[in-house]
Chain A
Amino acid sequence: GAVVSQHPSRVICKSGTSVKIECRSLDFQATTMFWYRQFPKQSLMLMATSNEGSKATYEQGVEKDKFLINHASLTLSTLTVTSAHPEDSSFYICSAIATANVLTFGAGSRLTVL
């Protein structure tokens, strides 16, 4: 089946640094990928829709300068959390549509900002 690979699975960084998270579709091409954020015991909140070759579409309330998304190829999207602060600590999950509407998730990246 379709596989979405996400790295790193865990990252700890100091406040003020930037962190990049990669999301790859391993056996299919994904023109669209989605980035979600999940706080403990809460639902998945869509942050942005990543479109290959064009700018990402951000959800209301998500700072695009804070969460930089690049979708440079049909198999790779990256999320960069810039100037990270403790409140950015969260579980970030990417996903891609392999076949019509079937969303496949990456394993997630747990970010801890000290």
Chain B
Amino acid sequence: GENVEQHPSTLSVQEGDSAVIKCTYSDSASNYFPWYKQELGKRPQLIIDIRSNVGEKKDQRIAVTLNKTAKHFSLHITETQPEDSAVYFCAASKGDGNKLVFGAGTILRVKS
């Protein structure tokens, strides 16, 4: 089955700097890659997603890139703010209602 690896497990950045989180997946049939942000004790919230027919997607300070050949995708957060501090999860699925397989998560700390 699908296996998603996520790095780093923790990431500390200074406010205003950029943060990059990387994930790799094993199943070449996967075609949908969302990123979730989870604050302590709360539900994961979708922040951005990308499908396999595009290589990059951007939404304000957040961007995601996908390299299908290498089977990896990355989350980029620019101009980080303290409120960006949370746990971020990447995930992959084959689409059409198939289950999502999550990465292990990255604890992002933005220091002010």
Q: Are B104 and A43 in contact (CB under 8 A)?
A: yes
CA distance A49 to B51 in the complex (A): 22
Q: Does A32 contact B (CB under 8 A)?
A: yes
Q: Are A43 and B43 in contact (CB under 8 A)?
A: no
Q: Are B97 and A32 in contact (CB under 8 A)?
A: yes
9 cross-chain pairs, A with B, having the tightest CB-CB distances, nearest first? A105-B43, A101-B32, A43-B104, A44-B102, A107-B43, A43-B102, A43-B105, A105-B44, A32-B97
Q: Are B89 and A102 in contact (CB under 8 A)?
A: no
Q: Are A44 and B93 in contact (CB under 8 A)?
A: no
**What is A's interface to B at a CB cutoff of 8 Å?**
31-32, 34, 41-46, 49, 91, 93, 97, 100-108, 110
**What is B's interface to A at a CB cutoff of 8 Å?**
32, 34, 36, 41-46, 49, 51, 89, 93, 95-97, 99-105, 107
Q: Are A34 and B99 in contact (CB under 8 A)?
A: yes
Min CB gap A58→B, angstroms: 12
CA distance A43 to B105 in the complex (A): 6
Min CB gap B72→A, angstroms: 18
Q: Are B99 and A49 in contact (CB under 8 A)?
A: yes
